[in-house]
Structure 1
């Protein structure tokens, strides 16, 4: 499993969301409070954020635990952004890919993260993978399950689907091929956030300076956090949140 978080709203230092709160993503790397599978998220971490005037996000990713990176504190303290996606990773299975397997994945303006695991990986996703063009598979940064799920989402985005349809369609395709998978997905283009709940927790709340936060679990005990029901598609921007039910895949 993993823990992840996305934010859109007024510019903030990255650390105000990722490391400063009492139960921040930083702390969730070793002491998550709502994680249902796994206990330590020490197989890497990553942040993606947007600079003014540039729609293509920057990323900072490492293969080791977030607490072991001495550069992270300075970066989180001084870098400000109006949008970010951050994640701490607990790998589904051992693999040779280091930081290439760490979220966020990126394509154009998009940042993506997968909190969960694909059941029966990799054999279970042979059919969905076969629906992709060979180039889409060759472009994969990593051979882990999250990277293949991202390829399915990215393919839909490139074909013109909106973020909600892209996430919902990919979730149903993977769930049909690999029943029992956990597929909490998170996606942003720097202006809005789309997410799914499929087997694990997700919460949202107004951001500390306005805006919107969507996270695997609350980073503090302040009021305002709202749990998202399982099997739900969340669509949000800085002002509002829409929740839509996700249908089970057809038999």
Structure 2
């Protein structure tokens, strides 16, 4: 469910990255090629981008399908950026949160998206939610699994954890509480991209020293796209991409009970 994309590189119009490619994020709203769960991403979309000289990103989000918003076409044609995060949201059950449920979420100069689903939501994360300060829960943008996963990751970031550690630990914690969850997370601060591949597809396209794109699926047929293995943490800049395997807590062996010494 859902598709998302993050970009770092030379200044480009939003549309050149999100609309113009033959299999763009815009097209993936109704015709994804590699989506394993869900078929139509029509329950909202959003893009966040960084403007020169301003550390806080701007966002444009809507609750309906991206193809039904003519204002987005104008925005994408004229707004230029060196870093962005865009997402289209899978069709879901009706909810009251409207565009507040659409990624990217934002705080502290960061943009975040979650491609996936938490199994057993909301009960499976009830215990984890109680580890957050009450103020963090009251400030959730939406009553969705993605918003709570973002709050858990943000709490770690605010405690001083590096982005890679914050996302990896959040994924492992949620996966332990809700086995079978799909937890492809995507985070950028405008200078780096951090992501996890956990239960759904993730790809990256890199021209070292020039540009980096991390996306749920390739937006064109460039042969240099590389798929990220499942259960992997990705940390990328314009110059390189680092991949680190993540261990599924469900695969940890259960220790055998120790025998009491016989007398």
What is the TM-score when the length of structure 2 is the normalising length? Answer: 0.93
Cα distance in 2 for residues equivalent to 1:14 and 1:209: 20
After superposition, the C-alpha distances for 1:92-139 in whole angstroms (9 at most, x for unaligned) are: 543111000000000011000000000000000001111100000001
Write out per-residue CA displacement over residues 126-161 of structure 1, whole angstroms, 9 at most, x where no aligned residue: 011111000000010100110000000110111111
Aligned match of 2:34: 34
Residue 130 of structure 2 is aligned to residue 130 of structure 1: yes
Task: Give the Cα–Cα distance (whole angstroms) in 2 for the partners of residues 69 and 210 of structure 1.
Answer: 32
Mapped partners of 1:213, 1:132: distance in 2: 32
Secondary structure class of the residue paired with 2:219: coil
Superposed, 1:66-81 pairs within 5 Å as 66-81=66-81
Map of 1:163 onto structure 2: 163
TM-score (norm 1): 0.97
The Cα of 1:217 is off from its aligned counterpart by 0.1
Q: Which residue of 2 aligns with 1:211?
A: 211
TM-superposed CA distance for 1:91, in Å, is 4.7
* Partner deviation per Cα, 1:200-224 (whole Å, 9 max, x = no partner): 0000002699310000000001221
Gaps of 5+ in 1: none
Q: List per-residue Cα deviations over 1:37-56 (Å, max 9, x = no partner).
A: 00000000000000111000
Q: Is the 1:23–1:218 contact (alpha carbons within 8 Å) kept by the matching residues of 2?
A: yes
Within 5 A, what are the aligned runs for 1:46-85?
46-85=46-85
Q: How much does 1:248 deviate?
A: 1.6
Larger radius of gyration: 2
2: distance between equivalents of 1:22 and 1:167? Answer: 31
Instruction: Check conservation: 1:9, 1:207, Cα contact below 8 A.
Output: no
**1:118 paired residue number:** 118
**Distance in 1 between residues matched to 2:208 and 2:247, nearest whole Å:** 33
Q: Which residue of 2 aligns with 1:199?
A: 199
Q: Equivalents in 1 of 2:160, 2:31: separation in Å? A: 39
Match of 1:139 in 2: 139
Query: Could you tell me how far apart the structure 1 residues matched to 2:222 and 2:165 are?
Result: 32
Aligned to 1:178: 178
Aligned residues: 251
In the alignment, which residue of structure 2 is the partner of 1:97? 97
CA-based RMSD = 1.4
- The whole-number CA distance in structure 1 between the counterparts of 2:39 and 2:208 is 28
**Hey, what's the Cα distance between the residues in 2 that align with 1:212 and 1:58?**
20
Does the CA-based 8 Å contact 1:7-1:212 persist in structure 2? Answer: yes
On the 8 A contact 1:14/1:79 being kept in 2, the answer is yes
In the aligned structure 2, how far is the partner of 1:154 from the partner of 1:207? 30
Equivalent pair of 1:167/1:195 in contact (CA under 8 Å) = yes
- d(CA) in 2 for partners of 1:156, 1:207: 31
Partner of 2:2: 2
In 1: Cα distance, 2:46 partner to 2:79 partner: 14
Give the direction of change, closer, same or farther, for the CA distance of 1:242–1:32 in structure 2 (3 Å limit): same
Q: Is the contact between residue 197 and residue 231 of structure 1 (CA under 8 Å) also seen in structure 2?
A: yes
Runs of 4+ in 1 over 2 A off after TM superposition: 91-94, 206-210
